[in-house]
A and B are shown apart, each in its own frame.
Chain A
Amino acid sequence: MIGVGKIKQYSNVLDKPLSRGRQEVSLSAFAFLFSELVQYSQTQVDNIAELERRLEDAGYAVGARVLELLCHREKGNRRETRLLGILSFVHSTVWKVLFGKVADSLEKGTEHEDEYMISEKELLVNRFISIPKDMGAFNCGAFVAGIVRGVLDGAGFPAVVTAHFVPMEGQQRPRTTILIKFAEEVLRRESRLGG
């Protein structure tokens, strides 16, 4: 029985019980790694579209693996076949595992039937990044967009996912929005299933 404030002293370090390990990675370690990834990609490409594509491809590989891992960890044994189901899965479960919290909001686009938006006040990956003026509308959130695309593709919902800055009044830094545009067949399947 361990009393409050008392720590059991182990005479031998080999007697200490094995800890489960911290379930988190330090933010600074990830920030360094991500900044190196962006810098490395920058030396390999000639223009901004290529850079965005490289980051997205890197995220796509992560997304595919995250999907497999989460489906195994979820004890629910359920496979998402509905659009809203997979979107809320991405919005809460995937975000929680990757960034430690659920995404700020999930909205349906008003202009087109097949557009949905996940927005975040400040993406974790962009915390220590500021875009120089000559890069225009580039957003390192393309990495996160790639992750979302990997998850959706693996689950059977092909989509085009992009990241955008959306300026908000009253806030200094613009909000980041991940725009998800589903492919035709997804909408057809959804209407067939009676959505």
Chain B
Amino acid sequence: MIVCVAVVGHQNNPLYLQSFTAADDALKLHHIIHCSLDVVDERVNNPKKSGPTLNETFLGMLYPTENYKVYGYLTNTKVKFLMVTTDLEVKDADVRSFFRKFHAAFVDAVSNPFHVPGKKITSKIFAERISGIVKSFGSVTAG
């Protein structure tokens, strides 16, 4: 179950934040997103080994907290996608395909000529597509 997704720009400015639980801990989720930005920066600037890992877009699991896991994805323009999930067992391939669809929706939103890069994404169609992708992610990993 995905509880929160976020898009963060290349200067760590938030471009899109959406939480999918009815509970009031939306603020806590935002804090978790904020902390995982540090992990992303650390991975980008100090690679474990130089070479191919320097260029990967999918960053994998960033860190686990008490009942959440955070996954990250970095595009070529240093825009970061972050995803917080409560699933205990999440397959790597599922997360990758989730981020691919997310990236497709993001590219469509940015191609809007009225979108100013660096400002928040206000397109309703983008929000609907993201909700659709999140819902279909849940049904794939269930069972």
> What is A's interface to B at a CB cutoff of 8 Å?
61, 64-65, 67-69, 71-72, 77-81, 154-156
Query: Does B104 contact A72, Cβ atoms closer than 8 Å?
Result: yes
Query: Does B76 contact A80, Cβ atoms closer than 8 Å?
Result: yes
Query: Does A79 contact B107, Cβ atoms closer than 8 Å?
Result: no
Query: Does B55 contact A78, Cβ atoms closer than 8 Å?
Result: yes
Instruction: Determine, out of B23-31, B109-117, B124-132, B133-141, the stretch whose residues face the partner at the interface.
Output: B109-117
From the candidates B56, B78, B113, name the one contacting A77 in the complex (CB within 8 A).
B56
Query: Does B76 contact A67, Cβ atoms closer than 8 Å?
Result: yes
**Knowing that A72-B107, A79-B54, A79-B74 are A-B contacts, what are 18 other residue pairs whose CB atoms are under 8 Å apart, sorted by A's residue number?**
A65-B111, A67-B77, A68-B77, A68-B106, A68-B110, A68-B111, A69-B111, A71-B75, A71-B77, A72-B103, A77-B55, A77-B57, A78-B55, A78-B56, A78-B57, A79-B57, A79-B75, A81-B55
User: Per-residue CB proximity of B47-79 to A under 8 Å, as 1/0?
Assistant: 000000011111000000000000000111110
Query: Does B107 contact A68, Cβ atoms closer than 8 Å?
Result: yes
Cβ contacts under 8 Å, A64 to chain B: 77, 110, 117
* Nearest CB in chain A: distance from B43 CB, A: 12
Q: How large is the interface on B (under 10, 10 to 19, 20 to 34, 35 or more residues)?
A: 10 to 19
Which of B76, B104, B106 has the most chain A CB atoms inside 10 A of its CB?
Answer: B76
Cβ contacts under 8 Å, B58 to chain A: 77
Cβ contacts under 8 Å, A71 to chain B: 57, 75-77
Cβ contacts under 8 Å, B117 to chain A: 64
Cβ contacts under 8 Å, B76 to chain A: 67-68, 71, 79-80, 154-155
* Nearest CB in chain B: distance from A94 CB, A: 12
Cβ contacts under 8 Å, A77 to chain B: 55-58
* Nearest CB in chain A: distance from B73 CB, A: 10
* Nearest CB in chain B: distance from A27 CB, A: 22
23 contacts between A and B (CB under 8 A): A64-B77, A65-B110, A65-B111, A67-B76, A68-B75, A68-B76, A68-B106, A69-B107, A71-B57, A71-B77, A72-B75, A72-B104, A77-B56, A77-B58, A78-B55, A78-B56, A78-B57, A79-B54, A80-B55, A80-B76, A81-B55, A155-B76, A156-B78
Cβ contacts under 8 Å, A68 to chain B: 75-77, 106-107, 110-111
Docked Cα-Cα span, A69 to B110, in Å, equals 9
Cβ contacts under 8 Å, A81 to chain B: 54-55
Docked Cα-Cα span, A73 to B71, in Å, equals 21
